[in-house]
Amino acid sequence: MPAKNKGAASFKKMRVNEEIARELGDILRTVKDPRVSSAFISIVNVDTTPDLKYCKIRFSVYNGNTSETSKGLKSAAGYIRKELAARLNLRLTPELTFIPDTSIEHGAHISALIESLNIKNDD
């Protein structure tokens, strides 16, 4: 028997990641927890393991407390997973782990540091 094409497996994983990200956008609007519903949450990245058992979801919060939103998402993970199972046609629905993404805040901090240097260009 020929060996399985690894490219096809990574394509499937990529497709599943995109589907999960799209569905999460809709599902997060239905979460009743005020820590989640009051914040504007953006899904930055979705990464599932190759066996599709676990999924890490990196998110950014724009108008809310990141740590409180993270606690709300952790609390609502069961509901979110159940909704994903109903919407996606997967044999297994992955266990969800929500991870706050601070890259935007970090970039703004670096930008502020660079601006504070006040370097003047002499042409």
Contact 91, 105 (CB under 8 A): no
- Phi and psi (nearest 5°) for 45? -155, 145
pLDDT at residue 1 in the model: 44
What is the C-alpha separation between 8 and 14, in angstroms, rounded? 10
CB 36 within 8 A of CB 76: yes
Domains, in order of start, for the chain: 6-116 (3.30.300.20)
pLDDT of the residue at 21:
94
Q: Enter the pTM of the model.
A: 0.77
* pLDDT tens digits for range 20-63: 999 999 999 999 999 998 889 999 999 999 888 999 999 998 87
Scored b (16 or more CB within 10 A) or e, 89-113 reads: eeeebbebebeebeeeeeeeeeeee
